[in-house]
Structure 1
Amino acid sequence: MPRRTATMLASTLMLIALLCAGVLIKVPYSEMSPGPTVNTLGDHDGEPVLQISGHKTYPTTGNLNMTTVRVTSADYKMNLAEAVYGWLAHDNIVVPHDTLYPDGKTEQQSTQENAEEFSQSQESAKVAALRQLKLPVESQVIVSTVIKGDPAEGKLHAGDVIKKVDGTPVKEMTDVAKLVTKHKPGERVTFTIVPVKEAAAAEKSGKKPTRTEDITMTTKKADDADRAIVGIQAGTDHTFPFTIDIKLADVGGPSAGLMFALGIVDKLTPDDLTGGKFVAGTGTIDDKGKVGPIGGIEMKTVGAREKGAQYFLTPKGNCAAAASDIPDGLTLVKVDTIADAVKSLKKIREGDTDALPSCTAK
C-alpha cells in the first residue's frame, strides 16, 4: 500500500475513533441556553399573565418581559462532543453538573424547589408592587413547616399565626428563632398563636381574629449546634386589599420577581411605564423591593434580544457578567430596587436614555 494512502487511511481511522470517543465518553457537565421570554403585560396560552380584580386597572403598551434559561435535566449524561460544541457555541454555556444540581439533587427535587421559589417570588412581587404604590399590605408571621419528630409536632400547625414568643411580640419571621434560641435545650418556651382555622375564618369574613392560644413546649438541642429549637420554620403571610393572580405555568425559580412586580405596578397606575418600548429583565425581589442577582444572565440577555428587547433591566449583582458580552442593540440598565426600575422606565419612555444607570464589565 502506498505511503500516502496508508497515511490517509490511518488519519481517517483516527478521526473515526476520536468521534466515537467523543460520543461515548460521558462528562460531568450540563448545558444552559436561552429559554422562553414572556410579556408580563400580555397573554400566555390564551389568558392574561396578570389578572387583577377588585381594583381599577389601566391599559398598558409595550413589553415588560420576564426571561428564562433552559437547562439540561439532572439525569442527562452529556458526552464529550456535546460539551466541546457547547464551549464553542456563542449562545450556549457549559457548566459543571453540580453547579445546577448540587449535592446529587434529582430532577424531581429540583423541580419541586423551583416551583416553591417561583410561588414565593410571585408573593414577594405582589408585596413589593403594592408597597411601591403605597397601597396597604398586611403581614403576619406564621408557622410555615412543622418538622416531624420535633417538639412542635402536634402542638403547632402549618398556618398558625405566631403573635408572641414568651410574651414578646413577633414582628418579623427572624424574631422567632432569636427568641427560641435565648433558651437552652431542654427549657420550656411558650408560643402565643392564632390557630390556623381561626385565622382562615377571620380572613374569609374580613375581620381580625380575636382569640389566641398559649402553647408551651420543651426545646431540644439542634443536630448541628448547641442551640435550642422546637422544630418549625417560620414564614410570612400577606393579606392583600384586592386579588392579584399570576397565571404562568411551566416556569420555575425566583428570577421573574422583578418583572412581575413591574407588570403589576404598570397595570395599577395610569402612567404607561414603558412608553411602548420593548423592555425585558430579570431579578429576584423581596418584600421590601430589593432586587437580587440570578443565574444564567448571559443566556437571558441573548434570549431577550432575539425576541426584540431594546432594554434589559439587570440586577446590580449581575451587571459585570452581563456587560462582558452584550448582544448588539440591547441596552443594559442597572437596577438595585423596584424604585430604581420605575425611575429608569420613566427615563426610557421620556427618551432620556443617556441618564440611565448602565452596567460595566468592571
Structure 2
Amino acid sequence: MPRRTATMLASTLMLIALLCAGVLIPVPYAEMSPGPTVNTLGNHDGEPVLQISGHRTYPADGHLNMTTVRVTSADFRMNLVEAVYGWLAHDSKIVPHETLYPAGTTEEQSTQQNAEEFSQSQESAKVAALKQLGITVKSWVIVSTVVKNAPAEGRLHAGDVIKAVDGTPVKQPGDVAKLVTKHKPGQNVVFTVVPAKEQAAAEKEHRTAATRNVTITTTTSDDTGPDRAVVGISAGTDHTFPFRVDIKLADVGGPSAGLMFALGIYDKLTPGSLTGGAFVAGTGTIDDDGTVGPIGGIQMKTIGARDKGARYFLTPADNCAAAAQGTPSGLTLVKVKNISDALGALKDIRTGDTAALPKCTTKD
C-alpha cells in the first residue's frame, strides 16, 4: 500500500475513532436554552392566566410576559459532541451538571422543589401586588415542613400556625430558628401553635382559634458548621386574601415569574393599561414586600423574550451585568430592584419617555 494511501487511511480511522469517542463518552455538563414565554395578561391553554373574583377588575392590553428556561433533565448524560455544539450555539448555554442538579439530586426531587418554589412565588406575587395597592392581606407564620424522624415529627404538622416560641411572639419565619437556636441541644422548647385544621375552621367561621402549647426536646443539627439546637421544622408564611386570585399556569417551575405575576395582578386591578400596549417581558423573584431578586439563565430568557417580540425586558438589578453582556438586538434591558421600580419603568414606557428608563449596563 502506498505511503500516501496508508496515511490517509490511518487519519480517517483516527477521525472515526475520535467521533465515536465524542458520541459515546459522557461529559459532566447540562444545557440551558430559551423556554416558552407566557403573557400574564392573556390566555394560556384556553383560559386566562390570571383569574380574579370578588373584586372589580379592568381590561388590560399589551404584554407582560413571564419567561422560562429549558434545561436538560437530571438523568440526561451529554456527550462531548453535544457539549461542543452547545458551546458554539448562540441560543444555548452549557453549564456544569451540578450547577443545575447538585450531587445526589434526582429528577423527581428537582421537579418537586421547582413546584414548591413556583407555588410560593405565586403567593408572594399576590401579596406584593395587593400591598402595593394598599389592600390588606392577613399573614402569619406556619410550619412549612417537618423533617422525617426529627423531634418535631408527630408533634407539629405542616400548616400549623406558630404564634410564639417560649412565650416570645413570632412575627417572621426567621424568628422561629433564632428562638430555637438560643437553646442548647437536648433542652426543651415550647411552641404555642394553632393546629392547621383548627385554623382553617376558625377562618371559615370568622373567629379566633384557641392555641395550645407543644413542648419539644431539641437535638443537634446534622449540617455543616457549629452544632446548634434544632427540632426539625422549617417555617414559612401563609396568607388570607380578601378576594380570590388564581394563577392558572401548568408545567412551569421555580420562583422567577414572581415579578411578572405581581405586575399582571396589579394591572388587572387598576384602570388603564400599565404597558400602553407595548410588549414587555421580564423575570425576577419577588418577596411579600415587593423586593425583586436575581434568577438563573438570564441570557436565555432575554433571547426567548426577544424572539417572541418583546421590546423591553424588566431585569433584576443583580442580573443586569450578566444580561447586558449579550443583549439581543432590539431589546432594552430595564433595571428594577422592586415592584415600585417596575411600575415606574412601565409608566415611562407607556408615556414614551424611554430616555428616563434605568437601563442595564455591563458595569452594574
> Normalising by structure 2, what TM-score?
0.95
Shift of 1:4: 4.7
- Is 1:361 aligned with 2:362? yes
- Report if the CA contact (8 A) 2:199-2:209 is conserved: no
Count of paired positions: 361
- Report if the CA contact (8 A) 1:198-1:209 is conserved: no
Shift of 1:202: 1.4
* Number of the residue aligned with 2:258: 257
- Report if the CA contact (8 A) 1:121-1:257 is conserved: yes
Pair 3,113 (structure 1): closer, same or farther in 2 beyond 3 Å: same
Map 1:163-202 onto structure 2 (within 5 A).
163-202=163-202
Q: Which moved more, 1:156-165 or 1:276-285?
A: 156-165
Map 1:23-172 onto structure 2 (within 5 A).
23-172=23-172
Cα shift readout 1:278-331 (whole Å, capped 9, x = no counterpart): 000011111111111111111100000000000000111110111001101100
- Report if the CA contact (8 A) 1:166-1:191 is conserved: yes
Find the residue that maps to 1:83 and give its secondary structure.
helix
Q: What amino acid is aligned across from residue 153 of structure 1 in structure 2?
A: E
Aligned-residue CA RMSD (Å)? 1.5
Q: Which moved more, 1:103-112 or 1:176-185?
A: 176-185
Find the residue that maps to 1:163 and give its secondary structure.
strand
Shift of 1:3: 5.0
- Report if the CA contact (8 A) 2:87-2:94 is conserved: yes
Find the residue that maps to 1:102 and give its secondary structure.
coil
- Report if the CA contact (8 A) 1:128-1:289 is conserved: yes
Shift of 1:197: 1.4
Q: What amino acid is aligned across from residue 300 of structure 2 in structure 1?
A: M
d(CA) in 1 for partners of 2:230 and 2:85?
A: 50
d(CA) in 2 for partners of 1:211 and 1:2?
A: 96
* Number of the residue aligned with 1:277: 278
- Report if the CA contact (8 A) 1:194-1:209 is conserved: no
Find the residue that maps to 1:104 and give its secondary structure.
coil
- Report if the CA contact (8 A) 1:128-1:288 is conserved: yes
d(CA) in 2 for partners of 1:259 and 1:15?
A: 50
Q: What amino acid is aligned across from residue 323 of structure 2 in structure 1?
A: A
* Number of the residue aligned with 2:334: 333
Q: Which moved more, 1:227-236 or 1:47-56?
A: 227-236
- Report if the CA contact (8 A) 2:284-2:292 is conserved: yes
Q: Which moved more, 1:113-122 or 1:158-167?
A: 158-167
Pair 11,233 (structure 1): closer, same or farther in 2 beyond 3 Å: same
Shift of 1:30: 0.8
d(CA) in 2 for partners of 1:346 and 1:192?
A: 46
Q: What amino acid is aligned across from residue 95 of structure 1 in structure 2?
A: V
Q: Which moved more, 1:38-47 or 1:139-148?
A: 139-148
Cα shift readout 1:119-140 (whole Å, capped 9, x = no counterpart): 1111111111111111111100
- Is 1:235 aligned with 2:236? yes
Shift of 1:11: 3.6
Q: Which moved more, 1:322-331 or 1:160-169?
A: 160-169
- Report if the CA contact (8 A) 1:98-1:104 is conserved: no
Shift of 1:5: 4.3
Find the residue that maps to 1:190 and give its secondary structure.
strand
Map 1:316-327 onto structure 2 (within 5 A).
316-327=317-328
Structure 2: stretches of 5+ with no match in the other structure: none
Cα shift readout 1:112-164 (whole Å, capped 9, x = no counterpart): 11111111111111111111111111100111122233332222222111111
Shift of 1:223: 2.8
Find the residue that maps to 2:103 and give its secondary structure.
helix
Structure 1: stretches of 5+ with no match in the other structure: none
Find the residue that maps to 2:319 and give its secondary structure.
helix
- Report if the CA contact (8 A) 1:313-1:333 is conserved: yes
Q: What amino acid is aligned across from residue 358 of structure 1 in structure 2?
A: K
Q: What amino acid is aligned across from residue 122 of structure 1 in structure 2?
A: Q
d(CA) in 2 for partners of 1:155 and 1:9?
A: 74
Q: Which moved more, 1:166-175 or 1:18-27?
A: 18-27
Cα shift readout 1:232-271 (whole Å, capped 9, x = no counterpart): 2111101110001101001111111111111001101113
Shift of 1:9: 3.6
Find the residue that maps to 1:313 and give its secondary structure.
strand
Pair 155,12 (structure 1): closer, same or farther in 2 beyond 3 Å: closer
d(CA) in 2 for partners of 1:8 and 1:149?
A: 66
- Report if the CA contact (8 A) 1:40-1:49 is conserved: yes
Shift of 1:106: 1.2
Q: What amino acid is aligned across from residue 103 of structure 1 in structure 2?
A: A
Q: What amino acid is aligned across from residue 185 of structure 1 in structure 2?
A: P
